[in-house]
Chains A and B, each alone.
Chain A
Amino acid sequence: QLQLQESGPGLVKPSETLSLTCTVSGGFIRSSSYYWGWIRQPPVKGLEWIGSIFHSGSTYYNPSLESRVTISVDTSKNQFSLMLTSVTAADTAVYYCARHGAQWELLRWGQGTLVTVSS
């Protein structure tokens, strides 16, 4: 069964870069016909899509975050990654990785990882 697991620092200082990795098991990123995405959820708030990537490296980003976001993929490690630059307290959230389906629904989610931005 496909599983996704987020990993990375739980604390990032303001103005620095947030970096997270999603490791996929039970399936291969390179053989998927669909995209892989990052979503975040600030405390006690709703879901916000960050961006998504195909195994070829093709990406889509949320326009409101696009200037600060880079999503990359490493098919040899079966991982995809998120970088968010110049973070502020507003970037404090649980960050999820997930796999899209044919109509951009998010079929399978990781358990999420809390990232706090604080000095």
Chain B
Amino acid sequence: SYELTQPPSVSVSPGQTASITCSGDKLGDKYACWYQQKAGQSPVLVISQQTKRPSGIPERFSGSTSGNTATLTITGTQAMDEADYYCQAWDSSTVVFGGGTKLTVL
């Protein structure tokens, strides 16, 4: 079965750039997307189709893909961005999630 691998945790200082990676076989050929989930809340789509930012998502969130790796980048990270982040893709008629990355802003 298809797997997506994320680092369990990433730390960043306020105002700096945070990068969260997601690796999977030929992920660049798939439409990876990213979700933000704050404590006690439902996930929110922050990047769709590798690079698209849904309406209402701040410009500091961006996505990119190269080869087997998709990257979520948060430029000028704010304290409010502290959350769990999940990547997701569609493969062989299944929805696959990465294990999630806890972003700490300190």
Interface residues of A (CB under 8 A from B): 37, 39, 46-49, 52, 60, 62-64, 96, 101-107, 109-112
Contacts and interface: CB of A to CB of B under 8 A. Distances in A.
Contacts of B44: 109
Do most interface residues of chain B lie in helix, strand or loop, or is the interface mixed?
Answer: strand
Contacts of A37: 95
Given A47-B43, A105-B33, A63 B94 contact: yes
Contacts of B54: 107
Given A47-B86, A49-B97, A111-B42, 9 more contacts: A47-B88, A49-B95, A96-B42, A96-B43, A104-B95, A105-B45, A106-B35, A106-B45, A109-B43
A106 B35 CA distance: 9
B49 A46 contact: no
B94 A106 contact: no
Interface residues of B, number: 24
Instruction: Determine the main DSSP class of A at the interface with B.
Output: loop
Contacts, number: 63
B69 interface: no
A34 to B, nearest CB: 12
Name the 10 nearest CB pairs between A and B, nearest first: A103-B31, A104-B90, A49-B95, A105-B33, A109-B42, A46-B100, A105-B48, A47-B97, A46-B99, A103-B49
Interface in B68-106: 86, 88-90, 93-100
Interface string B23-40: 000000001010101000
A104 B48 CA distance: 9
A111 B31 CA distance: 25
Contact of A60 (B1, B93, B97): B93
A63 B95 CA distance: 10
27 contacts: A37-B95, A46-B86, A46-B99, A46-B100, A47-B35, A47-B88, A48-B97, A52-B95, A60-B93, A60-B94, A63-B1, A63-B94, A64-B1, A103-B48, A103-B49, A105-B31, A105-B33, A106-B33, A106-B35, A106-B43, A106-B45, A106-B95, A109-B42, A109-B44, A110-B42, A111-B42, A112-B42
